[in-house]
Amino acid sequence: MDVTAEMDTTAEPAALYAWVDDLARYPEWLGLVTRAQPVEAHPDDEGPAWSIDLRGHLGPLARAKRLRMVRTVHDDPHHVAFERRERDGRDHAPWVLRGEVVAGPDGARLVMVLHYGGAWFGPVLERLLGDEIDRSRPRLAALVSG
Q: DSSP characters for 87-107?
A: -SSS----EEEEEEEEEETTE
Domains in the chain (CATH in brackets) are 2-145 (3.30.530.20)
38-85 pLDDT tens trace: 999 999 999 999 999 998 776 777 778 899 999 999 999 999 999 999
Which pLDDT score, from 0 to 100, does residue 124 have? 66
Q: Residue 114 in contact with residue 51, Cβ under 8 Å?
A: no
Mean predicted lDDT score pLDDT of the chain: 91
- Side-chain-side CA neighbours of 7 within 13 Å: the count stands at 24
Please count the other Cβ atoms lying within 10 Å of the Cβ belonging to residue 68. Answer: 19
